[in-house]
Amino acid sequence: MDKFVIRGGNPLVGTVRVSGAKNSALPCMAAAILTEEEITLENIPQVRDIDTERKLLASMGAEVDFGTVSSQHRTTISCRTLSDPVAKYEIVKTMRASSLVLGPLLARTGMARVAMPGGCAIGGRPIDLHIKGLEKMGATIIQEHGYLEARASRLKGAHLVFDKITVTGTEDLLMAAVLADGETVMENCAREPEVTDLAALLTAMGANIEGAGTSTIRVQGVSSLHRATYRINPDRIEAGTYLIAGAITRGDLTVAYCNPDHLRAVIAKLEEAGVRIDIPAADAVRVRPGNGLFATDISTEEYPGFPTDMQAQYMALATQAEGVSLIKENIFENRFMHVQELVRMGANIKVDGRTATVRGPAKLSAAAVMCSDLRASASLVLAALVADGESILDRVYHMDRGYERIEEKLRSVGAEIQRMGNVFAPRVPAAVAD
């Protein structure tokens, strides 16, 4: 298993380039199920979750272009035949977003068998809202042997109101609705840019969608969809992680090929904390030290609020800020796995329910730490960048799920970071297994 060895202390200086958004690419790849024609996606990040999704689609009978080493940021998927519309547990257990194939499989083939995702490190990850919506659209869904088996000769448009805002739930039902008979109105939808990305691809495929990016989405079902080529938007979470890397190391870092508009909540908090932020171009954000780094409270919310996927990284920064920061996690019940590891590095953090109290600044000292999930890993990398000495981060496969060659990107702007062990090679299926 790969490890990162990080020697802290260097300010990050220069320009770092952001990859395409993993959380947009995943539903967009699932959308290929909806048509017999070819879907080409550009700016696909070269990360492990994407490779898992390629495997998942291929296991169902899709023709998936795994790309050459130089063209892995582009993928072509053809779901002309879907001989086996099943998402197997072996794949679903490594990537819960696999449940995104439920809606499109049902819409396209009239049946789907998808393994139940179960819990994960950050808490229960139910898909009851996906099921409820599909049932309202006329599907019959039974659960047995750890699988959901869904059937519907043709889904019917319906009026759906989400009890709770769910990103992949909105995406899954949107994909089901585009081929349903008649109009579907979805209320209390997620407004994340990834939903908008998916809707843009579906529209390019011939779907009729209004209101994506707002809480009410209206879809007029069509009988079939066609080929399209679509470029995935930049990853706002990767971009936010690099902004914090610049801020925590007191560097002068430009985060390029990002969309500053998608980063508003993160930028606002960094400015409140005293970090100097400039937008030197429409697709770049520059971060520099201001007159100090001060504690600020954050509370995770659905978009456009502060993202839960940035909470762990922000906590690393809070350990270096002057004063007391209260960090409230509202989206997931157990998303403080990074706290114990940060404490082992010298951070002063107390957790009470869904709130972490961070007292800073703390002098962090290098340690051997364990990555527990994707964003927790990112927070440990950030802490290690300012810790005194050499930290060793174990289980960086969590990091490889969502950050494309982070060690190379950070090294190019001055970080001392090395990968030890088998270098991650996402194109080789054997390297994908957990």
DSSP 10: P
Site string for ligand UD1, 223-262 (x = CB under 6 A): ----------------------------------------
Q: Which residue number, 127 or 316, has a Cβ lying nearer to ligand UD1?
A: 127
| Residue whose C-alpha is closest to residue 236's, from 211, 257, 210 | 257
Q: Could you give the residue ranges of the DSSP H alpha helices within 300-394?
A: 311-318, 337-344, 374-386
Size of the site for ligand UD1 (CB under 6 A): 20
Phi and psi at 20, nearest 5°, equal: -70, 160
Min separation Cβ 401 and ligand UD1, Å: 10
Segment contacting ligand UD1 (CB under 6 A): 39-47, 82-90, 119-127, 389-397? 119-127
46 binds ligand UD1 (CB under 6 A): no
Q: How far is CA 76 from CA 26, 30, 79, 109, 370, in A?
A: 13, 12, 10, 20, 36
372 binds ligand UD1 (CB under 6 A): no
Segment contacting ligand UD1 (CB under 6 A): 35-43, 166-174, 317-325, 356-364? 166-174
379 binds ligand UD1 (CB under 6 A): no
118 binds ligand UD1 (CB under 6 A): no
120 is catalytic: yes
The C-alpha angle 328, 233, 35, rounded to 5 degrees, equals: 110
The enclosing H or E element of 298 equals strand 298-299
- Structure-token match 């579907």, residue found: 184
Check the CA dihedral 49-54-59-62 and report its sign: positive
Residues between 295 and 334 with contacts to ligand UD1, criterion CB under 6 A: 308-309, 331-332
Min separation Cβ 306 and ligand UD1, Å: 11
Q: Specify the pairing of strand 140-144 against strand 183-187.
A: unpaired
Q: Which residue number, 269 or 286, has a Cβ lying nearer to ligand UD1?
A: 269
Say if CB 426 and CB 399 are below 8 A apart: no
d(CA 344, CA 365): 9
Per the residue annotation, which of 28, 79, 120, 258 is the catalytic one? 120
33 binds ligand UD1 (CB under 6 A): no
- Judged by CB under 6 A, the residue of 166, 259, 311, 319 near ligand UD1 is 166
Positions touching ligand UD1 (CB under 6 A) are 23, 26, 97, 124-130, 164, 166-169, 194, 308-309, 331-332
Catalytic residue numbers?
A: 120
